[in-house]
Amino acid sequence: MQRRDVLKLGLASGLAGLSSFSSDFSSGVHAEEKKLLKDASYNQLPQWRGFNLLEKSNGRNARLVEDDFRWISDFGFNFVRLPMDYRTWIKDNDWHKIDEKVIEEIVDEAIRFGEKYGIHVNINFHRAPGYTVTRPAEPKKVWTDTEALDVCLLHWQTFAKRYKGISNDLVSFNLFNEPDRIEPILDQCVAVHKALIKGIREEDPNRLIICDGYEWGTKPFTDLVDQKVAQATRGYIPSQISFHKSKTFPVPTWPLILGNGLLYSDTKGGVKKEFRGALVISGLFPNQTKLRMKVDTVSNATKFVVLADGKTIFEHQFKPAAGEGEWKTVVFRKEWNIYQNIYDRDYETTIPAGTQKLEFRATQGDWLTLKQIAVWSENLKKETAVNLYSNGQLPPPKFQYRESEQNAEFVGSDIIKDKTWLRNHLEPWKKLQEQGCGVMVGEFGTFASCPHDVVLSWMSDCLANWREAGWGYALWEFRGGMGVMDSQRPDVDYENFHGHKLDRKMLKLLQGNS
């Protein structure tokens, strides 16, 4: 009897006793939730909830931690995704040589933990032979290179042979991590997926396979519907929230109010009149108030002014050029023989008491872009900001600034990103689901630099939409920057948990106990 047959027997006997582990769940796990581990099929995925575990991801090669499985189970979750790097299980850096002893250490152990604690294990090739979204790039591309495809097939068939017959309630395969910009070769990419699906099923006809969508998991593979595979999307929109970096991105809010911050000068030729003019903020400012503006890009020599009820309160002549200056990055546009430097810099002025209307204008030269406008409230002791983007086909927006004893806000914009906006982005995936394809959210989360209250508000809307759709989800990390433990967020009141720092508020949201 081969070793994998022994493993199958052990797992099969253990599965019969899974219910005994259910009684150990704590933190509000209900009877109906205990069933979510069962009945996994390509056309009806369970509403899994869990985390990605990164011990074997992107060059890492640490052991999986049994306590992670125990705590994930105790918290009431039932799913882990293992985004793995194939380089950890090859011999002598030769991708043709697979060391099954390493696979045993990695995945057999994970499946045993999964069996022990009632957790589904999703095996993902985050770096597959011939494909990765990380750096360094693979030397050969699986979408276009025959050898890379053959090797990738070899690896997946090795896993398929090893885990043949193990219940889909316990194990599934996730072929690639969110294929990136493949539109020019979409047909080839689909063909590669079909070849791997066929190869896996030659070894294990019943294995549950989940394919990430392309364009970084945002678009479903409609051409794979007939392959009887489930698909996974992502929960990283909008990027202003999920990928906020404190030093480079404006501090976001949620809901996210955006306006067009591209200001053409009054004298700019070749631009429709309605696209020129002032960005306007109306509202009563009874007290003298600090105003902050983040200027992003300036094209050629451009003069910028701010008016309060028609009177200039700020003006600055921008003169992008070569070498060092106010700007952060020099950008020379050879085709026009001009500089369009990136300033990414704050400028401040004071709004006079009694002001009712602010105007932001480029009065001479070419154009500039504003990234953010922020008003300081002395009563609230905080700054309220509106984030801006660039769109040459829209006029500058008109906002209203409102302040009460409890809150301050900007109203009116080109775009409001909120719960409804998030839900609308799910439509292509809901249509896929209607065609008989199971759907889940394989990854989501935010960088630790995003304000915690913003993260929780955004996450609450994401989770509500996914639960409404009947989809499972997995946070990108359990422990680490995007996780519920040891995230090192500067604005979280952490709870000590077995020597780790637990973000209890985020955990409750994920549990559905908010």
Measuring CA to CA, how many Å separate 197 from each of 19, 142, 177, 398? 32, 14, 15, 52
Asked if 46 contacts 54 with a C-beta cutoff of 8 angstroms, the reply is: no
Pairing type for strands 171-174 and 120-127 reads: parallel
Residue 340 has pLDDT above 90, yes or no: yes
Residue 249 has pLDDT above 80, yes or no: no
Q: How confident is the model at residue 274 (pLDDT cuts 50, 70, 90)?
A: confident
C-alpha 281/C-alpha 275 separation (Å) is 17
State the pLDDT at residue 394: 86
Residue 478 has pLDDT above 80, yes or no: yes
Residue 15 has pLDDT above 60, yes or no: no
Between residues 453 and 19, the one the model is more confident about: 453
* DSSP letter for each residue of 356-423: EEEEEEEEESSEEEEEEEEEEETTTTEEEEEEEE--TTSPPPEEEEEE-SS-EEEE--SEEESHHHHH
For residues 243-247, average pLDDT:
79
Percent of the chain with pLDDT strictly greater than 90: 80
Average pLDDT score, the chain: 90
Dihedral sign, Cα of residue 237, residue 241, residue 247, residue 248:
positive
State the pLDDT at residue 468: 97
Asked whether the bond before 238 is cis by omega within 30 degrees of 0, the reply is: yes
State the pLDDT at residue 5: 41
Torsion of CA 94, 96, 102, 103, to 10 degrees: 150
Side-chain half-sphere CA neighbours of 26 within 13 A: 3
For residues 327-351, average pLDDT:
97
State the pLDDT at residue 247: 62
Residue 62 has pLDDT above 60, yes or no: yes
C-alpha 157/C-alpha 513 separation (Å) is 41
Q: How confident is the model at residue 35 (pLDDT cuts 50, 70, 90)?
A: very low
Place of tokens 């994970």: 110
C-alpha 390/C-alpha 396 separation (Å) is 10
Q: How confident is the model at residue 248 (pLDDT cuts 50, 70, 90)?
A: low
For residues 179-183, average pLDDT:
91
C-alpha 506/C-alpha 514 separation (Å) is 9
Percent of the chain with pLDDT strictly greater than 70: 92
Q: Specify the 3-state DSSP secondary structure of 335.
A: coil
Residue 6 has pLDDT above 50, yes or no: no
β-partners of residue 329 are 342
| Crossing angle between the packed helical segments 504-511 and 452-469, to the nearest 10 degrees | 10
State the pLDDT at residue 252: 86
What is the CATH number assigned to the segment(s) 3-242+419-511? Answer: 3.20.20.80
State the pLDDT at residue 36: 40
State the pLDDT at residue 24: 32
For residues 460-482, average pLDDT:
97
Q: Give the DSSP letter of residue 279.
A: E
Q: Tens digit of pLDDT for each residue in 382-432?
A: 999 998 988 888 899 999 999 998 889 898 877 889 999 999 999 999 999
State the pLDDT at residue 25: 28
> How many other C-beta atoms lie within 10 A of the C-beta of residue 105?
17
Give the list of residues 6+ apart from residue 312 with CB closer than 8 angstroms, or none.
305, 306
Fold for domain 256-417?
Answer: Jelly Rolls (2.60.120)
Asked if 259 contacts 279 with a C-beta cutoff of 8 angstroms, the reply is: yes
Give the list of residues 6+ apart from residue 41 with CB closer than 8 angstroms, or none.
168, 208, 438
For residues 30-38, average pLDDT:
43
Q: Domains of the chain: which residue ranges?
A: 3-242+419-511, 256-417
Q: How confident is the model at residue 222 (pLDDT cuts 50, 70, 90)?
A: very high
Q: Specify the 3-state DSSP secondary structure of 39.
A: coil
> Residue 181, exposed/middle/buried by CB under 10 A (0-12, 13-18, 19+)?
exposed
Place of tokens 């028609």: 310
E strands within 222-378? 230-235, 256-260, 262-264, 279-285, 289-299, 302-308, 311-318, 332-333, 338-351, 355-364, 367-377
pTM score > 0.85 for this model? no
State the pLDDT at residue 484: 98
Dihedral sign, Cα of residue 342, residue 346, residue 350, residue 355:
positive
Place of tokens 């067009």: 260
For residues 363-383, average pLDDT:
94
